[in-house]
Amino acid sequence: MDPVRVGTLVELDVGAPASGGGFVARAPDGRVVFVRHALPGERVVARLTAVTTRYLRADAVDVITASSDRVPAPCRLAGPGRCGGCDWQHVDLDVQRRLKAQLAADHLAHLAGIRCRVVVEPVTGDVGGLAWRTRVRFAVDGTGRLGFHQHRSRAVQVVGRCPVAVPEVSATGVTLSRWPGAVSVEVHAGDVSPNREDTESSATVVARRRGRGALARPEVEPGAVVDRRLACPPGSVFHEVAGRRYRVSAGVFWQAHAGAPAALVDAVLQGLAPASGERAVDLYAGVGLFSGALATAVGPTGSVVAVEGGAAACADARWNLRDLPQASVVRAAIDAEWVSRSMGPADLVVLDPPRQGVGAAVAGALGPAHPRAVAYVSCDPASFARDLRALLDGGMVLTSLRAFDTFPMTEHVEQVAILTTPGAAAR
- Which DSSP string corresponds to 272-334? H---TT-EEEEET-TTTHHHHHHHHHH-TTSEEEEEES-HHHHHHHHHHTTT-TTEEEEE---
Q: Looking at residue 227, what is its pLDDT?
A: 47
The domain in which residue 186 lies consists of 135-239
Integer CA distances (angstroms), 340 to 165, 196, 238, 370, 425, in order: 41, 40, 35, 12, 20
Over pLDDT 70: what percentage of the chain? 92
Q: Looking at residue 391, what is its pLDDT?
A: 97
Taking only the tens place, the pLDDT of each residue in 190-202 is: 887 777 766 666 7
pLDDT average, residue stretch 256-266: 98
Q: Looking at residue 226, what is its pLDDT?
A: 47
Instruction: Answer yes or no: is pLDDT of 260 > 50.
Output: yes
Residues 63 and 55: their CA atoms lie apart, in Å, by: 22
In this structure, is residue 178 part of a structural domain? yes
3-class SS of residue 363? helix
In this structure, is residue 86 part of a structural domain? no
Say if residue 348 is in the same domain as residue 389. yes
Taking only the tens place, the pLDDT of each residue in 44-70 is: 999 999 999 999 999 999 999 999 999
In this structure, is residue 83 part of a structural domain? no
| Residue positions counted in the chain | 427
Instruction: Answer yes or no: is pLDDT of 105 > 70.
Output: yes
pLDDT, greater one: 232 or 382: 382
Dmax (CA) for the chain in angstroms is 73
Q: Looking at residue 233, what is its pLDDT?
A: 47
In this structure, is residue 16 part of a structural domain? yes
In this structure, is residue 350 part of a structural domain? yes
Catalytic residues: 379
Average model confidence (pLDDT) across the chain: 92
In this structure, is residue 119 part of a structural domain? no
- Of 191, 212, 239, which residue constitutes the final position of a domain? 239
Say if residue 227 is in the same domain as residue 268. no
Q: Looking at residue 216, what is its pLDDT?
A: 60
Strands, E, within 3-54: which ranges?
9-13, 23-26, 32-36, 43-51
Q: Report the run of H or E that residue 107 belongs to, with start and end.
A: helix 93-107
Say if residue 266 is in the same domain as residue 402. yes
Taking only the tens place, the pLDDT of each residue in 13-39 is: 999 999 999 999 999 999 999 999 999
Say if residue 191 is in the same domain as residue 262. no
Instruction: Answer yes or no: is pLDDT of 224 > 60.
Output: no
CB-CB contact of 74 with 89 (8 Å): yes
Q: Looking at residue 204, what is its pLDDT?
A: 84
Say if residue 205 is in the same domain as residue 262. no
Residues 118 and 101: their CA atoms lie apart, in Å, by: 5
In this structure, is residue 49 part of a structural domain? yes
- CATH at 36: 2.40.50.140
CA 411: distance to chain centroid?
11
Counted domains in the chain: 3
Say if residue 162 is in the same domain as residue 267. no
- Of 27, 45, 70, which residue constitutes the final position of a domain? 70
State phi, psi for 414 to the nearest 5 degrees: -105, 135
Say if residue 354 is in the same domain as residue 214. no
Say if residue 231 is in the same domain as residue 261. no
Say if residue 216 is in the same domain as residue 295. no
Taking only the tens place, the pLDDT of each residue in 121-148 is: 999 999 999 999 999 999 999 999 999 9
- CATH at 266: 3.40.50.150
Say if residue 269 is in the same domain as residue 160. no
Residues 12 and 234: their CA atoms lie apart, in Å, by: 51
pLDDT band at 1 (very low <50, low <70, confident <90, very high): very low
Integer CA distances (angstroms), 244 to 200, 209, 293, 319, 378, in order: 17, 34, 8, 12, 23
Say if residue 207 is in the same domain as residue 157. yes
pLDDT average, residue stretch 107-119: 96
Say if residue 235 is in the same domain as residue 261. no
In this structure, is residue 113 part of a structural domain? no
3-class SS of residue 168? helix
Percent of the chain that is helix, strand, coil (3-state, to 5):
20, 35, 45
- Of 39, 70, 101, which residue constitutes the final position of a domain? 70
Over pLDDT 90: what percentage of the chain? 81
